[in-house]
Amino acid sequence: MARKNAYLDHLRQVPLFSACTDKDLAKIARAGDEVTVPDGHVIVDQGQTGREAFVVMAGSVTVRRNGKKVATVGPGAVIGELSLFDHGPRTATCTADGDVTLFVLDQRHFAAVIDEVPAIAHKIMGSMAAKIREFDRQYFG
């Protein structure tokens, strides 16, 4: 349990979970696991079915869409968050730049948290809507 509480500091910094209370974040922390992947490891592969999301806790990740680099993300970034809501294809390929520590949250465990505390879904939907609006402003003015 002590280790799971250590995730709270990381999860507080994640925009997707910004509206969640400490109690909400503790439930999310208990639902996931930590993994470390080596340099060059493909974390998610564009076009493949997604079943989990990853919070970058340490290190950096290169994001490519259709083979073109679109971003480098670091601690606090979430990769694959759409997979928490559906089994659709990944929209980008994400590769570890050096060793990367990730907090992994799979769809099944995330759904159990939502079932237990439905208000978390409303908070996360608000965060995702803000992200979509920001993308819309960036690309369409």
- Angle between helices 22-31 and 107-116 in degrees, nearest 10: 150
Domain 2-116 has CATH 3.40.50.1000: no
Query: Which residues of the chain carry a pLDDT beneath 70?
Result: 1-6
Tell me the pLDDT tens digit for each residue of 5-39. 667 788 888 888 888 888 988 988 989 999 999 99
- Could you state, in order of their start, the residue ranges of all structural domains in the chain? 2-116
| pLDDT the model gives residue 2 | 47
Task: Please enumerate, as own/partner, the contacts of 21-28 that have beta carbons within 8 Å and a separation of 24 or more.
Answer: 24/117, 24/119, 24/120, 24/123, 27/113, 27/116, 27/117, 27/120, 28/105, 28/110, 28/113, 28/120
Q: What is the pLDDT of residue 5?
A: 62
Q: Which residues, in sequence order, are bridge partners of residue 106? A: 52
The pLDDT score that the predictor gives to residue 13 is: 82
